[in-house]
Structure 1
Amino acid sequence: MTSTTLLAKVPAQGPVLALHGSHYKALQKAYPPRPVPETWSETTADSDTVLDRLNELFKDTAKNTRYTRWRGACHVMRWLEQFDGENWQQRWRNSPLDKNFAAGLPDLEAWVRQHLAPVPDGVLRAGILGLACADVIRPDAAWLLTRRSRHMRQIVAEHRDPDGFAALEAQAAPGIWDAKLGLQARNQIATIILAKGGKVRDITVGDCLELRGIETEVMASGAGRSLFYLWLKELEVLPPDAPATLRDFKRRAGQVSVEELVDRYNLQCRPVRDVIVDYLTERQAALDYTSLEGLSRNLAQLFWADLERHHPGIDSLRLPKNIATAWKERIRTKTRRKRQPDGSFIEITTERQSAIAVLNLVRAFYLDISQWAAEEPGRWGPWVAPNPIKESELAHKKHAKRQKAKADQRTRERLPVLPTLVQAADQQRKEARTRHLAALEVAPGATFTVLGKTYTRVKHPRWSDGVAANTVYNQEGRRCTFGYAEHRAFWAWATVEFLRHTGVRIEEMLEVSHHSITQYTLPTTGELVPLLQIAPSKTDQERLLLVSPELADVLSAIVCRIRDASGTVPLVRSYDHAERVWNPPMPLLFQWRTGGQDRSISQTTIRRALNETLDFAGLTDNTGQPLNYQPHDFRRIFITDAIMNGLPPHIAQVIAGHDDISTTMRYKAIYPTEAIEAHRAFIARRRSTRPSEEYRRPTDAEWNDFLGHFELRKLSIGACGRSFGTACIHEHACIRCPMLRPDPGERRRLVEIRDNLVDRIAEAQREGWLGDVKGLEVSLEGAKDKLAQMDAQTARARQSIYLGMPSFGEIAARAT
């Protein structure tokens, strides 16, 4: 249901308050910034001493530059003398210039023009910068950020702390120091030094926190603004227990209290606000943080804030029938504002998919208060009220069936075209790699042609961090960054391959680390089976997945890509958006280097890369509209494909990590032909077998039988690749069978078989056994094909990447 209406006359909801979590507050408390003292030696000097200090400080500077700074400082000090204060810093604080963030220096310029001589604006700016560099005044960081000079980082590095900046330059990655990222980081460090005093090694964690907070308030937060902190951390300027990064330290700021969760919605009725807080506090022990935040949003925003917005002055949970009915009608839809081309706004109303869930939570709120009132009448008794939501209003069977049908339709549309998407992802990755390497081979400003298109590389790439520096203009003059495009294409391919071979959730995929790759030794044959450990996620259940040869290829490519110059996988920190906590540094597989730092890849980046691959593939649905894939679609496809190919549902449940078999079956899409065959099979065996026998957890014997299947596939010249629970379809004629995975180590045996077949064919032709000739020739072609496969595997094995523990060896070398 969708409708478009004019803007409603109901008062608009107040702004939702931003949350600065406990992590951010704890950092502020643990690492306070350095206070700026009222006085110090340099700021108490007289004007002649200050000018002499400026001459000494800039003695190695060009004569014109030194005179400009000296002359500007003279005028600025003459102007500051008219304000109250015992030193230059106090006079600076009392001047209007310290509070004026506007462009230009209007008060200072006017006074200098009237009392001294007219001078350009740049001379006065040079004088202020000279005084700040000489530590005569310490302007606020906000003033320096809004009135920053392009000479600030250079003058501080050359004249304030050359040794400190030289040490920082030694820590910086190659090509970063003079790139835009490096210039930005140097500006931030210079700002802290001018605002707080001291040198590079005097900077504290609190100074860095304060600067990042000011930056988010007075200027846009661009990319790479935490690189300066990484430099200080690597230089060991900051203590060992300092935070590993300042990236998104406010937006990813940890958990908050129940009171803050409720107060962000500005509830007007204080008693009702308090009872909601008390209710959430009682429920907090049994809920994870995500559930607690969702419950607070449903009760505080969707329930009570909505009632206050439409019925001002309401102050009781005892709702009249008309008010309760109106609220239940509103909650079944949601409204969003959409901007029109002419600048106006319209409201678009659509059906709220979670309406029944909201009603259920509000009903539980009333029922819990009624039950708790029997135990604590003094606390909960005054809030007992008739439940405005009847049980009959929570019938969700029809809604669940619609959701199931919609999910099944998505799976039925996407499962058949998955091979096309896989092929498109691989092709896009190769083309992006080709363009990336071709652009790196030409000089800046040169024009080149690759894959039939002509590009011109930018003349002065400032973001030279190895990724964004590879920027070009296409034939239409549009700017394209081949470095980032190649990154996104690779991780889109890795995401498609990883999700379709494992069926894990996206948050589980992003938490897989190098330590997750392990192995299992079959007790009878001693064969090593590679396994992938999936960390506990939604159901808090850890599980192990068998690594197929195709998945091994993907893991090899990922590890090869993310290893640093020393051959190790970098340790990076990731943020758990569900629990609002930072995870400890781990060698995550899904990481990349951007902004001069190694970072974990976010879900937003994965989804954006996947959308680009879908655009490249050009897939459409049955209506001709672009076909989109969500990461969770691969999980449904994995379960559906596994069960359709004979995997018992109770084993699929263990692999998928579901608590209930019914959840697994809801993920499996139903096909019409499959339903007919299942019904006929049920009629045939209903007297002897109950369907529920298949939908249970596997016994130890069944699980051992499942693992033992891989032992029975061991052959003299390789391994059989047939699926679990299936019989041999070629009557064990393994040489002819395409399911045989030949072992390069048994090449000598296969050569003997081939030579024997050649001799037997010659004998059969000599004796006239034409029937044997035909059959032996088929076997000979199969042997030759298997030899070719062995040679291809051996060639790839020479190029395989060693992954540490465990080693995939021959498995990783297999061609996908």
Structure 2
Amino acid sequence: MTVPRVAIAVPRPTTAQAAHGERREKYPARSHPETWPATERSRDQVLALIRVPPTHAEGHHTWGARKRGAEAILRWLETFPGASWQDRWLACPAPGQQDGSGWHDEIIEWSRTGMHRVSRKTELSAGMLTLITLDVIRPSLDWLIIRRSRRIREMMAEFRDPKGYADLAEVAGPDVWTSRIGYDARGAIARILAAKGGTVRDITVGDCLEFRDAQKRSQSSARSTSLFYSWLRDLGLFPPDAPPNLRHISVRAGQLSPAQLIDRYQIQNEPVRDLLVSYLAERQVSLDYTSLDDLSRCLGLNFWADLEKHHPGIDSLHLAPETAAAWKQRLRTKVDRRRLPDGTVIEYESPRLSFVPLLTTVRAFYLDIAQWAADDPSRWGQWAVPCPIREAEVNHKKYNRQQKARSRERTRERMPVLPLLIRTANQRAEEAKARLEAVREAPAGGSFTVLGETFTKSTSSRWADPNSTTIAYDATGRRRHLDSEEGRAFWSWAAVEFLRHSGVRIEEMLESSHHSITQYKLPTTGEIVPLLQIAPSKTDEERVLLVSPEFADVLSAIVCRVRDHSGAIPLVSAYDQQEKVWNPPMPLLFQSTVGGENLPVSAATIRRSLNDLLKDTGLTDSTGKPLRYQPHDFRRLFVTDAIMSGLPPHIAQVVCGHQNLNTTMGYFAIYPAEAIEAHHAFIARRRALRPSEEYRTPTSEEWDAFLAHFEKRKLSVGTCARAFGTDCIHEHACLRCPMLRPEHAQRPRLVEIRDNLLDRIVEAEREGWLGELEKLHNRLAGAENKLAQLDEEVARQANVVDLGMPSFSQIAVRTTIDQP
């Protein structure tokens, strides 16, 4: 077999960087022309455009300062080479000023040395703004962002493009247009026009991306970035496939190619990296994107990147036994990080629950290559090597049982406290609504009391209405955004009610729209039945749920909240976290207004809201830690409650959208009381159905055989408790067998066995007998378990009350005598 050549891979850009580069190529910004008519005008022509109002007219001094400042700047630029004002601007030192303010000093110093009239900084700033507005000079976006100007918005709206700004104001609405976030958005558009020229309708997607990059370089606040983009998009200026918004464009890279998926893990061996890319490309046709992403993570991160980290220079899939064993041992655990209240982060290891599925994926990788090598030896033959994972190591039966047990334990723990969670969510929503209404009615800077709490309303952060703020300070002086608190409280209540009444997945809930609410007329009675249509999700199956009256109230509250002033639900584009694509605009039920624009509520927001809700309940689990609810827990609670209430399991399967009934029954948590009652009923039915001959008196031979069975179960350290008529199924490994009942008189023997095992374990660790070590540990666990069992019996017998029950020898009517 040809050994692949090791090549050190060149560091590749991150996923977000690569995706952003592709967007910049797809949506290029407008180029900077060398010249245009406005910049070729003479100094007199430019100054003639700056008409000063008559004396004593309003704004006379302002416009006079602008004209004087513009004249000083133009005279200073004439000292630099160039055929246009833009050429002279690029030749002067002003564009290179990092702070955006040093250019004033350059002109003032030039005025003093050249015997010109010395201008003030305010006049120079006003003159520069005038030249930019008249499109005489086009500074860069970096220079414009660093140099803040309060009048650039009004100047651009009045003299550059009044019609375009009027259209934007109509799209934004009067409240948002005059707010602080609207003020910042208008400033972003004005700076793009100043740097690129043209009007509002000339702005492209590439211009917006370039402005976003300039903001990041200058470390400027990006709160207006997404809002101004939404205004331009609503004007219909962008193509249909343009990004819906810029808020999360840096972290949402979209679907990646197999090469990009593998390159996330910076694999050093180039041939192995190419092999993984080729393997993903072959599997891509039959997998959805989520499965392909999980496959790349398993093979790239959990498998080969881990091998390269712990075995530098590895270049072959043919793993040595010790290498494979070490990798499997590392795969059994994972490193978790937790932030403590003091801000420090600690790392700790925990068992990896997905250990068996990861092994199965890697084993399938080896077996697929071996099979493909028979069909195409030239491509896959050199990589066909023995698989380091045996079939017995990927037994899913135990894994599935453990997963089902954990799921049912979570359900049993959370079902009793669900009513408390519901009451707390409803109470938090009502209290947050009362606080929000109170702060809206209070004057700015005034105090108000609500629900026994005293608040002081902050001054407004908006420019139009000084009383429109919803920020207040409580009695401790803590700044609280009561509008945001009310939003989090409402959506936590809505999520709890939606999930518990419908049993849907969280992605199905977030994709529910106003179009999902339908109705059906019963043909027999003519009654109108409300229905909720669930879009295809995990299993690509569409289904319809019956809406109960309580669930209908929840949907009504959500619809009333998200409607705009026109009564319609706004259309928003949601990002599918599983498939990494943007969905088309839809009237989603779970949406909110953030920064002046309508955005879908994310799954992370729902989870944070649930965590905040659980903090208020004070619930704890069996270990004393705060109880955690995951959105999928409500799905299990829904199935359990429905089946316990009498819903047939196959109907529950249809309601949940499961393809297999066993999946539905895995969600159903059986309670001990229910199991006991069902067992009693089964025994009664069995006795009624069995023939009476089976309850006859046993013969002497049958009784002798029955007693002899129990006499033969006597062992050196106790008694075997296996059932009558059964053989030993544990191959007489009595010390580890749960059927062995140890005797108190044999405790010294068990202690001697345990000490002997400890000595043998020390010897095995010293000699490196790994196979012997695992067997000894198992036997040691069995011995310690038997000793603990004896201690528990001693403690229990100390509190035993004698009820006078007869012993076995007193009730036996026959005995046997062992023959020598």
Q: TM-score range by the shorter chain?
A: 0.7 to 0.9
Query: Where does structure 2 lack aligned partners over 5 or more consecutive residues?
Result: 1-9, 690-820
Amino acid at match of 1:40: W
Amino acid at match of 1:308: E
2:73/2:128 contact within 8 Å kept: yes
Q: What CA distance in whole angstroms lies between the structure 2 residues aligned with 1:393 and 1:184? A: 60
Change in 2 beyond 3 A, CA 1:304/1:557: same
More displaced 10-residue stretch of structure 1: 304-313 or 491-500: 304-313
Task: Specify the alignment match of 2:451 in structure 1.
Answer: 451
More displaced 10-residue stretch of structure 1: 307-316 or 174-183: 307-316
The Cα of 1:240 is off from its aligned counterpart by 6.8
DSSP-derived class of the 2:177 partner: coil
The Cα of 1:197 is off from its aligned counterpart by 0.4
The Cα of 1:363 is off from its aligned counterpart by 1.5
DSSP-derived class of the 1:538 partner: coil
**Bigger relative contact order, structure 1 or 2, given CA contacts below 8 A and separation 6+?**
1
Amino acid at match of 1:42: A
The alignment status of 1:316 with 2:350, answered yes or no, reads: no
Q: What CA distance in whole angstroms lies between the structure 1 residues aligned with 2:340 and 2:404? A: 35
The alignment status of 1:103 with 2:99, answered yes or no, reads: yes
Tell me the alpha carbon deviations over residues 744-795 of structure 1, each in whole angstroms, 9 at most, x when there is no partner: xxxxxxxxxxxxxxxxxxxxxxxxxxxxxxxxxxxxxxxxxxxxxxxxxxxx
Tell me the alpha carbon deviations over residues 229-259 of structure 1, each in whole angstroms, 9 at most, x when there is no partner: 2323344455677655444234334212111
Change in 2 beyond 3 A, CA 1:387/1:583: same
Q: What CA distance in whole angstroms lies between the structure 2 residues aligned with 1:136 and 1:686? A: 98
Change in 2 beyond 3 A, CA 1:630/1:168: same
Equivalent runs, 1:30-41 vs 2, <5 Å:
31-41=27-37
Task: Specify the alignment match of 2:579 in structure 1.
Answer: 579
Equivalent runs, 1:386-785 vs 2, <5 Å:
386-462=386-462, 469-683=469-683
Equivalent runs, 1:152-551 vs 2, <5 Å:
152-219=152-219, 222-238=222-238, 244-335=244-335, 347-462=347-462, 469-551=469-551
Q: What CA distance in whole angstroms lies between the structure 1 residues aligned with 2:587 and 2:514? A: 6
| Equivalent residues, number | 676
1:17 pairs with 14, 18, 26, which one?
A: 14
The alignment status of 1:43 with 2:36, answered yes or no, reads: no
Amino acid at match of 1:182: G
Change in 2 beyond 3 A, CA 1:217/1:310: farther
Task: Specify the alignment match of 1:86 in structure 2.
Answer: 83
Change in 2 beyond 3 A, CA 1:553/1:341: closer
The Cα of 1:685 is off from its aligned counterpart by 5.7
DSSP-derived class of the 1:530 partner: strand
Query: Where does structure 1 lack aligned partners over 5 or more consecutive residues?
Result: 1-12, 690-816
Amino acid at match of 2:598: D
2:258/2:277 contact within 8 Å kept: yes
DSSP-derived class of the 2:225 partner: coil
Q: What CA distance in whole angstroms lies between the structure 1 residues aligned with 2:386 and 2:220? A: 50
Q: What CA distance in whole angstroms lies between the structure 2 residues aligned with 1:121 and 1:312? A: 62
TM-score, reference length from structure 1? 0.76
The Cα of 1:570 is off from its aligned counterpart by 2.3
Amino acid at match of 2:84: N
Change in 2 beyond 3 A, CA 1:74/1:512: same
Tell me the alpha carbon deviations over residues 627-653 of structure 1, each in whole angstroms, 9 at most, x when there is no partner: 221111111111111122222222211
Q: What CA distance in whole angstroms lies between the structure 1 residues aligned with 2:466 and 2:245? A: 21
Q: What CA distance in whole angstroms lies between the structure 2 residues aligned with 1:374 and 1:188? A: 61
1:468/1:483 contact within 8 Å kept: no
Amino acid at match of 1:487: G
Q: What CA distance in whole angstroms lies between the structure 2 residues aligned with 1:381 and 1:99? A: 59
Change in 2 beyond 3 A, CA 1:687/1:658: farther
Change in 2 beyond 3 A, CA 1:327/1:484: same
Q: What CA distance in whole angstroms lies between the structure 1 residues aligned with 2:124 and 2:347? A: 52
The Cα of 1:372 is off from its aligned counterpart by 0.3
2:15/2:260 contact within 8 Å kept: no
Change in 2 beyond 3 A, CA 1:225/1:161: same
Q: What CA distance in whole angstroms lies between the structure 2 residues aligned with 1:151 and 1:132? A: 12
DSSP-derived class of the 1:302 partner: helix
DSSP-derived class of the 2:501 partner: helix
The Cα of 1:350 is off from its aligned counterpart by 2.8
Q: What CA distance in whole angstroms lies between the structure 2 residues aligned with 1:499 and 1:122? A: 60
Identical aligned pairs, as a percentage?
A: 54
Q: What CA distance in whole angstroms lies between the structure 2 residues aligned with 1:639 and 1:629? A: 16
DSSP-derived class of the 2:32 partner: coil
Change in 2 beyond 3 A, CA 1:57/1:397: farther
2:76/2:110 contact within 8 Å kept: no
Tell me the alpha carbon deviations over residues 164-217 of structure 1, each in whole angstroms, 9 at most, x when there is no partner: 323322332232122111011101110110011012232233322332344345
Amino acid at match of 2:484: Y
Tell me the alpha carbon deviations over residues 496-527 of structure 1, each in whole angstroms, 9 at most, x when there is no partner: 11111111111111111122122333333333
2:436/2:483 contact within 8 Å kept: yes
The Cα of 1:61 is off from its aligned counterpart by 7.7
Q: What CA distance in whole angstroms lies between the structure 2 residues aligned with 1:343 and 1:624? A: 22
Amino acid at match of 2:90: R
The Cα of 1:391 is off from its aligned counterpart by 2.3
Change in 2 beyond 3 A, CA 1:334/1:125: farther
2:193/2:199 contact within 8 Å kept: yes
Change in 2 beyond 3 A, CA 1:342/1:437: closer
1:337/1:345 contact within 8 Å kept: yes
Task: Specify the alignment match of 2:730 in structure 1.
Answer: none
Q: What CA distance in whole angstroms lies between the structure 2 residues aligned with 1:39 and 1:145? A: 23
Q: What CA distance in whole angstroms lies between the structure 1 residues aligned with 2:619 and 2:464? A: 35
Tell me the alpha carbon deviations over residues 662-702 of structure 1, each in whole angstroms, 9 at most, x when there is no partner: 2112212232222333344455567999xxxxxxxxxxxxx
1:179/1:463 contact within 8 Å kept: yes
DSSP-derived class of the 1:409 partner: helix
Change in 2 beyond 3 A, CA 1:618/1:121: farther
Q: What CA distance in whole angstroms lies between the structure 1 residues aligned with 2:14 and 2:362? A: 23
Q: What CA distance in whole angstroms lies between the structure 1 residues aligned with 2:454 and 2:439? A: 11
DSSP-derived class of the 2:267 partner: coil
Tell me the alpha carbon deviations over residues 387-427 of structure 1, each in whole angstroms, 9 at most, x when there is no partner: 12222332454444443333222211211111111111111
Task: Specify the alignment match of 2:815 in structure 1.
Answer: none
DSSP-derived class of the 1:472 partner: strand
More displaced 10-residue stretch of structure 1: 121-130 or 659-668: 121-130
1:19/1:260 contact within 8 Å kept: no
1:104/1:121 contact within 8 Å kept: no
Q: What CA distance in whole angstroms lies between the structure 2 residues aligned with 1:606 and 1:386? A: 46
Change in 2 beyond 3 A, CA 1:94/1:380: farther
Structure showing greater radius of gyration is 2
DSSP-derived class of the 1:508 partner: helix
CA RMSD after TM alignment: 3.3
